[in-house]
């Protein structure tokens, strides 16, 4: 292995989004007839790499060599034509169509424009047999369990002559039996000479299934292990976490006051085990977990944005009945959303409007007439104190950079009287400079006595900001660690999914 030129070679693949470099010159090779794992934390660049490979987001610079031929795909059709298929976590299938139609969609066998049902059925059945599936080709896809749908997706890729097949965390919603079956199919594909790129978070899958492994971190290539013989899980974790958590955060401990937020036995959608937490005034609690661990869901429950099925919340010792976000805001419990575009800003309104949206009702006159003087003064005050870069308060917020949008959202809450601040991925998609400004704002608020929960997928960020760290795994809190005992390895170990009992 490794002597022949790799079948698939990434060459300096770079992807720059406004303000963020998602991939910074990634180069490595994948051999034909091998299963190559791709690992990294959330945001390390795995998904971006797959999107570049599938043609859905062309790289900014760089290229792929496939069988020695330089390629850049500008559409999924181009990628498909070159024999590349990516199988995403969310399958791209049409539930209301039959299995056969899904597999051959776009190149259905026809007779002068009329679909040849018989050929369609037979070809589908043959294709599925190769994968060891005996599904009725005329079955509606919606009736299949997720494991079989994945097989349909694989069959679809194979009928298009895919030679390079990438899987994006394919086992995340499969049962142990389905996983075994999937692994057998993947091994079969390897035997047929396919190139398999396998993205996963699960350590044990790598050692069970894969031949080689590449680790990405912060959009950069860390290391490629051509063989896994001498690789240990500990080594991979170190590669994934890697960087020194230098004191770019400027953390210093501060005195904590009485309890700001008390959460007891909270349950709801996405939070499978009752969660109990306490955050003191002036304390920053980091909440770490992989994507899908239930962090955002938990914050939304605490904010009243989603209904709680059990449990209670106290702010400064007083019980808060949470029927809607308004109740939370009235109690001084506020939430900065993870998805700024969808849930944070009102893009077509001005910076001033976005800033004053929540606080203005406390300053109206005659029961509802806006106090223009307050509106102007408050917008100016927040823009100044948070250093929002905007030409005027009247500028539409959608024209601001992500970091400045985030500061406006913070300004929205700082215009109200806050006691507890829930921050969900406060620096996602924000450039380094604005990031450190936001960290300083967080520390300042904590010094002023606000209780803060920071959710982040960025482990160094959590470790750099938090006084204490709670780790979530699969909808439950798996550990709460003090700053001193929270090493990256320990936190990550608590966040990674537990091994599933699988017999293969």
Partner 1 sequence: MSSPSGKPTHPFIALLDRAGMQLILGVLIIVCWFTVQNFGSPENIMNLLLQVTTVGIVATTMLFCLASGNFDLSVGTLIPAGGVLCALVLRHGGNLVLATTTALAFGAVVGLLNGVVVARFKINALITTLSTMMMVKGLAFVFADGKSIGIDNDTLLHLANWAYPVIHNRSGGILFQITLPVWVCLGLFAFFGFVLQRTTFGRNTLAIGGNEEAARLAGVNVNFVKITIFTIQGVVAALAGVLLAARLGIGDPKTAQGSELSIISACVLGGVSLSGGIGRMSYVIAGVFIMGIVENAMNLLNIDSFYQYVVRGAILLGAVMLDQLKQRR
List interacting residues with partner 1 (CB under 8 A): 303, 305, 324-326, 329, 335, 337, 342-349, 353, 357-358, 360-361, 364, 368-370, 372, 391, 396, 399, 412
Pick 76 or 358: Cβ nearer partner 1: 358
- The least CB distance from residue 480 to partner 1, in Å, is 27
- The least CB distance from residue 366 to partner 1, in Å, is 9
- DSSP secondary structure letters along 369-426: B--HHHHHHHHHHHHHHTT---S-TTSBGGGS-HHHHHHHHHHHHHTS--SEEEEEST
SS3 438: helix
- The least CB distance from residue 181 to partner 1, in Å, is 39
First to last CA, the chain: 25
Pick 137 or 344: Cβ nearer partner 1: 344
- The least CB distance from residue 329 to partner 1, in Å, is 4
- The least CB distance from residue 302 to partner 1, in Å, is 13
Angle at 113 between CA 109 and CA 118, to 5 degrees: 40
Pick 175 or 371: Cβ nearer partner 1: 371
Distance CA 452, CA 441 (A): 12
Beta sheet of 8-17, edge-to-edge order: 20-30, 8-17, 61-66, 69-71
- The least CB distance from residue 68 to partner 1, in Å, is 41
Distance CA 444, CA 385 (A): 11
Pick 96 or 372: Cβ nearer partner 1: 372
- Report the candidate in 297, 356, 302 with the shortest Cα–Cα distance to residue 332: 302
Distance CA 76, CA 194 (A): 19
Pick 152 or 331: Cβ nearer partner 1: 331
Distance CA 413, CA 140 (A): 48
Distance CA 174, CA 150 (A): 10
Pick 121 or 398: Cβ nearer partner 1: 398
Pick 68 or 367: Cβ nearer partner 1: 367
Q: Are strands 34-39 and 212-217 parallel, antiparallel or unpaired?
A: parallel
Task: Tally Cβ neighbours within 10 Å of residue 13.
Answer: 25
Residue showing tokens 């009243």: 304
Distance CA 188, CA 170 (A): 16
Distance CA 259, CA 270 (A): 26
- The least CB distance from residue 189 to partner 1, in Å, is 41
- The least CB distance from residue 51 to partner 1, in Å, is 25
Which distant-in-sequence residues (6+ apart) come within 8 Å of 306 by Cβ? 268, 269, 297, 300
Pick 162 or 397: Cβ nearer partner 1: 397
Residue showing tokens 């008390």: 262
- The least CB distance from residue 160 to partner 1, in Å, is 35
Pick 150 or 354: Cβ nearer partner 1: 354
Under DSSP, the state recorded for 299 is: H
Distance CA 214, CA 234 (A): 15
Distance from chain centroid for Cα 249: 23
Pick 73 or 303: Cβ nearer partner 1: 303
CA dihedral angle for residue 94, residue 99, residue 103, residue 109, rounded to 10 degrees: -110
- The least CB distance from residue 398 to partner 1, in Å, is 8
Pick 150 or 404: Cβ nearer partner 1: 404
- The least CB distance from residue 422 to partner 1, in Å, is 11
């Amino acid at each position: 292995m490794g002597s022949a030129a790799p079948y698939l070679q990434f060459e300096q693949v770079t992807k720059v989004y406004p303000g963020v470099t998602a991939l910074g010159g990634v180069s490595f090779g994948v051999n034909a007839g091998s299963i190559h794992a791709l690992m990294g934390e959330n945001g390390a660049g795995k998904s971006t790499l797959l999107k570049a490979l599938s043609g859905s987001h062309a790289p900014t610079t760089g290229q792929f060599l496939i069988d020695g031929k330089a390629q850049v795909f500008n559409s999924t059709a181009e990628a498909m034509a070159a024999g590349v298929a990516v199988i995403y976590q969310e399958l791209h299938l049409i539930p209301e169509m039959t299995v056969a139609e899904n597999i051959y969609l776009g190149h259905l066998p026809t007779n002068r424009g009329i679909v040849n049902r018989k050929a369609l059925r037979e070809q589908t059945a043959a294709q599925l047999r190769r994968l060891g599936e005996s599904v009725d080709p005329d079955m509606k896809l919606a009736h299949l369990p997720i494991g079989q749908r994945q097989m349909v997706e694989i069959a679809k890729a194979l009928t298009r002559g895919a030679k390079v097949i990438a899987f994006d965390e394919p086992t995340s919603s499969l049962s142990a039996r389905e996983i075994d079956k999937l692994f057998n199919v993947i091994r079969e594909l390897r035997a047929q000479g396919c190139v398999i790129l396998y993205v996963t978070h699960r350590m044990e899958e790598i050692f069970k299934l894969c031949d080689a492994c590449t680790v990405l971190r912060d959009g950069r290539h860390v290391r490629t292990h051509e063989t896994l013989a001498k690789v240990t899980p500990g080594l991979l974790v170190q590669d994934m976490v890697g960087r020194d958590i230098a004191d770019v955060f400027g953390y210093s401990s501060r005195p904590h006051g009485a309890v700001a937020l008390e959460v007891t036995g909270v349950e709801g959608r996405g939070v499978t085990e009752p969660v109990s937490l306490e955050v003191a005034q002036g304390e920053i609690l980091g909440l770490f977990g992989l994507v899908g661990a239930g962090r955002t869901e938990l914050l939304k429950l605490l904010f009243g944005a989603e209904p709680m099925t059990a449990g209670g919340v106290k702010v400064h010792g007083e019980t808060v009945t949470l029927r809607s976000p308004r109740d939370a805001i009235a109690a001084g419990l506020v939430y900065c959303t993870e998805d700024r575009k969808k849930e944070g800003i009102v893009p077509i309104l001005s910076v001033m409007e976005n800033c004053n949206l929540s606080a203005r009702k406390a300053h109206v006159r005659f029961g509802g007439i806006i106090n223009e003087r307050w509106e102007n003064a408050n917008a100016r005050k927040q823009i100044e104190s948070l250093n929002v870069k905007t030409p005027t308060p009247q500028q539409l917020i959608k024209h601001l950079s992500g970091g400045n949008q985030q500061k406006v959202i913070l300004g929205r809450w700082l215009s109200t009287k806050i006691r507890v601040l829930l921050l969900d991925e406060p620096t996602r998609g924000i450039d380094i400079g604005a990031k450190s400004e936001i960290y300083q704002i967080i520390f300042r608020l904590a010094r002023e006595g606000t209780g803060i929960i920071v959710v982040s997928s960025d482990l160094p960020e959590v470790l750099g900001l938090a006084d204490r760290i709670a780790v979530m795994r699969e909808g439950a809190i798996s550990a709460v660690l003090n700053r001193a005992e929270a090493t990256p390895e320990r936190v990550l170990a608590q966040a990674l999914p537990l091994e599933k009992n699988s017999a293969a």
